[in-house]
Structure 1
Amino acid sequence: MSYAGDLSPQEAWAKLEDGAILVDVRTEGEWAHIGIPDTNETDNDPLFIQWNLTGGIPNARFVEQLKQQAPEEPGTELVFLCRSGARSIAAAIAATEAGFTSYNVLEGFEGGPDRYGERTVNGWKNRGLPTNLGKH
């Protein structure tokens, strides 16, 4: 594994409570229409940096934007979140290569689809972790 590890949504929340910073790598449309994690109960606000731009175009400035927004303090851990846990793996790898300690949130914000294609099975939102719907 080329990043620090995978975390369940509950383990990710515990990391945030211990001072890690959440990095949501979904698109602006996902943040606006599906919702965002609410980290008000932790010491750090989440960072919002798209891994892919709208239309699926890769964000060529992702690492640059991460370096601009994430603290460079030694020991700072970053926890990456996307819709289902796929883009966040790629982002965690890129961040690790840039020198950050990076984790991936398994299941993502929305989780996997049920047998009807609805994302109601698991994930940050469906496990009852704090969210703000339709905001960013």
Structure 2
Amino acid sequence: MSYAGDVTPQQAWDLLRDRPDAVLVDVRTEQEWQTIGVPDISELSRPVHFVEWVDAQGSPNPAFLAQLQAAGVATGPVVFICRSGQRSEHAAVAATAAGIAPSYNLSGGFEGEVGPLGQRDVNGWKVLGLPWTRR
């Protein structure tokens, strides 16, 4: 496998709670962080790291790995989160290839998948009631 695998939001929370060395990296865009909110793991006495995988126009961030390392993310376990779990999967693959392991993808992401009524209300960090805040 090219990364450690997918975890549900609850599994991610449990990993972050139980492993003091575990890190959460939000790879969405600055605009998403500002308008939608961000995961909040402050009750676990640690920060969320914010490193864009792509910019607001969808262009890849060529400095992604360097910015991860600058944020202090050099080893795992690392859980990557995005809106729905697609960008974060790519980030987990790239981090693993760079030796940052184990790297996990948070399936369902922050907002979750689109449900039958067109709303992102199926799964995801926010939908499942895990802590989040405005940035």
SS at the partner of 2:125? helix
Q: Aligned residues: percent identity?
A: 50
Structure 1 stretch 99-108 or stretch 38-47: which is displaced more? 38-47
User: Aligned letter for 2:112?
Assistant: G
TM-score where L is the length of structure 1: 0.92
Describe the superposition over 1:90-115 as per-residue Cα deviations: whole angstroms up to 9, x where unpaired. 00000001111111101000000111
Structure 2 residue aligned with 1:86: 86
TM-score where L is the length of structure 2: 0.93
Residue 111 of structure 2 contacts residue 120 of structure 2 at CA under 8 Å; is this kept in 1?
Answer: yes
SS at the partner of 2:69? helix
Q: Take 2:86 and 2:123, find their aligned partners in 1: how far apart are those partners?
A: 14
CA-atom RMSD in angstroms: 1.1
User: Aligned letter for 1:24?
Assistant: D
**Structure 1 segments unaligned to the other structure (5+ residues):** none
Structure 1 residue aligned with 2:45: 43
**Structure 2 segments unaligned to the other structure (5+ residues):** none
Number of residue pairs the alignment of both structures matches: 132
Q: How does 1:110-125 map to 2 (within 5 A)?
A: 110-125=111-126
Q: Return the offset for 1:70.
A: 2.5
Which ranges of 4 or more aligned residues in structure 1 deviate by more than 3 Å?
Answer: none
Q: Take 2:52 and 2:104, find their aligned partners in 1: how far apart are those partners?
A: 16
